[in-house]
Structure formats: structure tokens, C-alpha cells
């Protein structure tokens, strides 16, 4: 079934924006293109982190502990979640320490640098 042509050509009969184009030329000139925002600064994280590798007390399993972050509560949980996703491993919060499964020392150092940690001690 063919569509019926609209009366008055291709434009809809009651176009509320039809008269606005003529008014556009009467507007004052706007500001020049806004400057592109500067690149976002590196996220600011804790000033220090100590990364330790352990096997004792974990049933022979390897774990990597991140200590002295200075984060509490929800921030520590959020960092743990991001670390587990970013490194592809499991982990838990133990007091004020992140405990990640496996030997993650090298990968964790790079991950912490990206998060803005200024000083990282790996042992």
C-alpha cells in the first residue's frame, strides 16, 4: 500500500521549527569553540604502598599483601574490587591490608602506579 503524499510537499504540515531558521541569523555571534579540556591528571592515590609476597600461614598457597595504603572501609573495598578485576585474581581485605591470590608483585606494582601511588616498596 502506497503512502499518501503530504499536502504542501515533503514538509509536515505543522512543523514548529520551520520558522526558527530565519530567526537564527538575528542571533548575536556566540563564543568561539571552547578549548578542549586538558588531559585528566593522573588519579591521586595513597602516597605509599608496601607489597609483600607470602606463603606461610596460607596452607602453602602464594599470596601478595598490599600494606600501608592508608585507606579505610569503603575505599579499601573499592580498591580490592578494582585490583581483582584489573589483575584477574581473587582477594580479600584483612584489616587494613589487601590480600591477593598468587604472586602479583610485578603486575601489582604497575597497577598501583596507574592508580597514583607515589612510592611503592616491593619485597
Give pTM, 2 decimals: 0.63
Predicted confidence (pLDDT) at residue 63 exceeds the cutoff of 80: yes
- pLDDT for residue 36 is more than 70: no
pLDDT at 25: 80
Distance CA(92)–CA(105), nearest Å, equals: 16
Amino acid at each position: 500500500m502506497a503512502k499518501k503524499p503530504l499536502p504542501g510537499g515533503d514538509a509536515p504540515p505543522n512543523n514548529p521549527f520551520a520558522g526558527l531558521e530565519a530567526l537564527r541569523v538575528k542571533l548575536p555571534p556566540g563564543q568561539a569553540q571552547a578549548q578542549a579540556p586538558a588531559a585528566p591528571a593522573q588519579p591521586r592515590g595513597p602516597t605509599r604502598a608496601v607489597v609483600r609476597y607470602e606463603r606461610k600461614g596460607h596452607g602453602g598457597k602464594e599470596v601478595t599483601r598490599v600494606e600501608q595504603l592508608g585507606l579505610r572501609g569503603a575505599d579499601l573495598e573499592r580498591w580490592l574490587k578494582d585490583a581483582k578485576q584489573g589483575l584477574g585474581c581473587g582477594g580479600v581485605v584483612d584489616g587494613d591490608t589487601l590480600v591477593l591470590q598468587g604472586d602479583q608483585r610485578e603486575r601489582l606494582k604497575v597497577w598501583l602506579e596507574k592508580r597514583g601511588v607515589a612510592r611503592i616498596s616491593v619485597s
